[in-house]
Amino acid sequence: MSSIELWRFLPLGYLLTILIETPILMLGLSHRHSRLRKLLAGVWLTACTYPIVTLVLPLLLADSSRTAYLLIAEIFAPVGECVLFWLAFGSRSELGKPSMWRDFLTIVAANLASFLVGEVFNAYNWFGP
């Protein structure tokens, strides 16, 4: 896959990803976060990780199997987003509390949902690079 094809795919893939992940974040993130913060998280977290998953990793792992790419990308994205979310909105008083774990699990679930939808779309050649 060429970098030009990846760049062409980026805006559409990003839009689809936030359309899938944002509602999950809106429903699942702990109540200590406002609706605006949850909405921001849906757009911002994906904006931070999606270019790496879509533009960087495919080129770095071009000689690797698709399985290796998926494993690395689908671990990187939720872990990176959990770290970013904690750095932006976490606090010492929340460390280890159920709300922190709920936020992290919600971020992982949102990423898993967008991955699964992407795999279905890819399997049927509906959408994807």
Q: In terms of pTM, does the model score above 0.85? A: yes
Residue 54 · residue 9 · CB < 8 Å: yes
CA separation for the pair 96, 86 (Å, rounded): 11
Q: Which two tokens stand for residue 127?
A: 């959408």
Identify the burial level of 15 via C-beta atoms within 10 angstroms of its C-beta, where 0-12 means exposed, 13-18 middle and 19 or more buried.
Answer: exposed
Sign of CA dihedral 63, 113, 9, 121: positive
pLDDT in tens, the chain (129 residues): 789 999 999 999 999 999 999 999 999 999 999 999 999 999 999 999 999 999 999 999 999 999 999 999 999 999 999 999 999 999 999 999 999 999 999 999 999 999 999 999 888 887 666
What is the SS3 assignment for 107?
helix
pLDDT at 68: 96
pLDDT at 127: 66
Using the structure block, give the residue that is written with the tokens 């399985």: 67
pLDDT at 1: 74
What's the half-sphere exposure (Cβ side, CA atoms, 13 Å) at 123?
Answer: 6
Question: Residue 51 contacts by C-beta under 8 Å, 6 or more apart in sequence?
Answer: 10
CA separation for the pair 73, 82 (Å, rounded): 14
